[in-house]
Chains A and B, each alone.
Chain A
Amino acid sequence: MIRFGKIGKLFSYVFLSIYALIILVPFTMMVLNSFKTMRELFLKPFSLPSKFSPDNFTKAWKFANIGVGYRNSLFVAGVTVLIVATLASMFAYMVSKYEFNFRRTIFLYSMLGLALPARLAVIPIFILLRNMGLTNSLLGLILVYSSVNLPFSIFILKNFIDAVPNELCEAARIDGANVGYIYYRVILPLIKPALSIIAIVTFVNVWNDFFFPLILINDRSKATITLAVSIFFGEYSIQWPLLFAGLTLSIAPTVIMFLIFSRFFIAGMTQGAIK
């Protein structure tokens, strides 16, 4: 659509390249510096490390409990995605395809949480979980994240299910399919793209969150990856190469996943907020 002349093109390339550098250089420096010694980092901050030894990484892995953090984050994010995808699709299916009393009211009620930041409610959430004995537990985090991610997922899924022709469900019904069968065999296969969108958005939201673990988790063995790194950061503030190694390790899985599946991530995340 937009056409640039020679000068316009040149300007575009220069401008965009500079911006790309502003993004890529910090990543590169983080990784490079995580191979250095403190002395080397101080004397030659921009050079390549003299040797690529994995020492800092193995140390950071151990001290920052990266393994534990990965495991906890993966578990919490994975289970949350399953719960959200299941409950939100069931809810959206019922609200979209069937008539019953208070249908619209119930739907609007579920939309209340769409733009209200749940972190504003964190004190009562904290107290509620404490009363249930679920502070310092991954289950507590899962319950909170599942609830918080429901409104958006319901919203997206309902739009997709609305687009499924009613005739399809009616035909299935005439063939003798019940409500559950239609959900499982007709609706779910048709809304796979929407399910993958909400799965990605929910997973990334949970994996990247720091606020709820900061408040709900004290026990290091229950720390998610972001919390694990933040504790480590406070304790090893002198050992910079270790810190860089810890940061690199903490973001490696998501960045690698992103680079492989960037198209899906971008579609999911941008649709997520604006749709």
Chain B
Amino acid sequence: MYKIFVAFVKKEFYHILRDRRTLIILFGIPIALVLIFGYTVTNEFKGASIAILDQAHDELSREYMLHLQASGHFEIVGNAYSYEEIEESFKSGEVKMTIVIPPDFGQDFYRGEKTKVQFLADASEPNYASTLINYASQMTRKFQMEKRGNQKRPFQINIESRMIYNPRLESAYNFIPGVVALILMLISAMMTSLTIAREKELGTMDLLLVSPLPPLIIILGKVTPYIILSFLNALMILAMGYFVFDVPIYGNVFLLMGLCILYLTTALALGVLISTKAPTQQAAMMGSLFSLMLPTMLLSGFLFPISSMPALLQAISTIIPATYFIEILKAIMLKGVGMEVIWFPTIILFLMTFFLLGVAWKNFEVVSK
């Protein structure tokens, strides 16, 4: 039986390896994802385009503008002369924020009067707008302190802060575990659900089922090559994270690998389950797209914080395997802890796997009879 199984796996492997395009995609998507996330997906901003409506035109207002520009966070792309012009530049998207400097800016400041600077932000993009305003406010305060000469005041509570696990606030620390979880889910679950659905659609599944091979061997034979491929992929992503983006792995590498395999199995179980349900490849694809890829991307805490979601979505995130796997990856890689901390998510993944395999098995028996 073992020999037959190996032969079957070999045959499936040939199928995959012969298909160059799929192979390119299989390794291309992960590489592209890691690079895109690493280099382009960022919320920090540099060189945000702002405009100035300077009603003072004095020494201080010029110094203030230079001060804003010198930080590199802002790029002054133009001067506005009226509020209508500000609106126009917002609508065309050329400018994200306009700073209005009042007349007599310098005069009032040096005389010890209050003077009022206005920040008008295009808040159709709320986060961007509030970050811009925060930055500009901070820089304005700093400018004011510099102009007055720094005086230390008593009765000041200082803050000593420490950013732990990621002192340089690298975004790669956050996205590499997420990408690993996403890719393993995509490849293991979607590919398997498709291969099995394909056999069904083309009618070749019936041929396999009447062959002397037991159904379990057929499923395992179809799944094994994808286990190996997605595991290779996981290693590749972790290596890219380590060498290209300096994401450390502080914990036990073997524990990490072992839990990768556990998660792979969970994903595969899901894939098999979908394929037992889906009559065609198209249905399998749509099924895995909506039930696997999007939830994994959006509700696992990979892109958006779970704690900010409404209660219903938080509840959904607890049944998504990636939620637990990302937790495990971050714990092992970045915090360098072991089983004593991650026993809970590990047990959940185990239970999920058994449950999914059970349901898939039951479905499959019905289908094959």
Are these two chains actual partners, yes or no? no
Instruction: Name A residues whose Cβ lies closer than 8 Å to a Cβ of B.
Output: none
Interface residues of B (CB under 8 A from A): none
